[in-house]
Amino acid sequence: MDALKARSSATGWLGHIYQETIQPSRCNRIWLAWNKNGDFLMLANRQVAIVTGGSGNIGQSIVHALSDQGYRTAVFDRRPPSRDRSSDEVIYLPGDACREDQVNGAFAQLFDREGRLDLLVNAAGISPKREGSTRARLWDLTLDEWTNVINVNLNGVFLTCKAASEYFRRQRSGHIVNIGSVMGFIGATSATSNRFPYSNSGLHYCASKAAVHNLTKSLARELAEFNIRVNCIAPGGVEGGMFRLQEEQQQSLLRQVPLNSFCQARDIAEVVLFLASDTKSRMITGHTVTVDGGWNMR
């Protein structure tokens, strides 16, 4: 036991014991583990999560938080995740959330391997810039640019929610957490400067995130009869992600944030854990939780 613990000290996982094998891809397991706080965990029927965009800044933090809480976590992304986690903790499923065949294939592969699915987190999203770190204004924005953002930020959410719901409905349980944005509430200019309470996130980005907020409500109504909860998180500026500003711009915006701090990716991950918990958020569905230090307080 001590040898197992030492061998897995880098990740915190001790290992697993097969209690009864039904078939290789569907096993009843008891997992013995320590999280990073040193707490001992014994997890029967380990929960399974899939995170789209799990290789990005916010997505990666969500993957780490879920793994630390005992989830068997899969990353569905065009890019592989970082290698600071063992392959036993994180499964990489390469694919594009805009491609229905790739989405369905990834979900089927995960379910065949693990025999269950408990949580979908949609963290994939883009807000592309043109040369010079600007985004096109209305009169310059092309249909291709618009469609690209809508495909990733909205259509990808629709396709993955649709795929996950097939498994959740069979189980009559499941959780979906979508990542929106405060820009989906207040809109934004596409001009080069950031002016509180707006940013230059782009028209396409803001429209796509507003749609995700409303899609979340609609899905929550649609899936409630199957005991499936659907919620959304709307981050403000998150350090290390899309939110990269010059020092002068950062200080100007920071003065408008009541808590005097920008979000960290871990702040978003903690809310995901809360919304995925059947004990802490059992009666919460159809909500978009704003995580922005009070920036968009209304």
* Span 202-254, pLDDT tens digits: 899 999 999 999 999 999 999 999 999 999 999 988 877 555 556 666 777 77
The DSSP line for the chain is: -HHHHHHTTTTTEEEEEEEEEEETTEEEEEEEEE-TT--EEEEES--EEEEETTTSHHHHHHHHHHHHTT-EEEEEESSPPPSSS-TTTEEEEE--TT-HHHHHHHHHHHHHHHS---EEEE-------BTTTB---TTT--HHHHHHHHIIIIIHHHHHHHHHHHHHHHHT-EEEEEE--THHHH----SSS--TT-----HHHHHHHHHHHHHHHHHHHHHGGGTEEEEEEEE--BBTTTB---HHHHHHHHTT-TTSSPBPHHHHHHHHHHHT-TTTSTT--S-EEEESTTTT--
**Mean pLDDT score across all residues of the chain:** 82
What pLDDT score does 28 carry? 42
Q: Tell whether the model's pLDDT for residue 290 goes beyond 50.
A: yes
Highest mean pLDDT range out of 7-16, 113-122, 241-250? 113-122
Phi and psi dihedrals of 216, rounded to 5? -60, -45
**Choice between 25 and 155, residue whose per-residue pLDDT is larger:** 155
pLDDT band at 165 (very low <50, low <70, confident <90, very high): very high
* Neighbour tally for 4: CB within 10 Å: 12
What pLDDT score does 295 carry? 79
What pLDDT score does 21 carry? 29
pLDDT tens digit sequence for 262-285: 889 999 999 999 999 999 999 999
Q: Tell whether the model's pLDDT for residue 189 goes beyond 80.
A: no
Q: Tell whether the model's pLDDT for residue 70 goes beyond 90.
A: yes
pLDDT band at 38 (very low <50, low <70, confident <90, very high): low
What pLDDT score does 248 carry? 65
Which amino acids are annotated catalytic? 205
pLDDT band at 255 (very low <50, low <70, confident <90, very high): confident
What domains, with CATH codes, occur in the chain? 1-45 (no CATH), 47-291 (3.40.50.720)
Q: Tell whether the model's pLDDT for residue 132 goes beyond 80.
A: no
What pLDDT score does 29 carry? 45
Cβ 173 vs Cβ 286: under 8 Å: no
What pLDDT score does 258 carry? 82
Whole-number Å distance between alpha carbons of 216 and 176: 9
Q: What is the mean pLDDT of residues 63-89?
A: 86
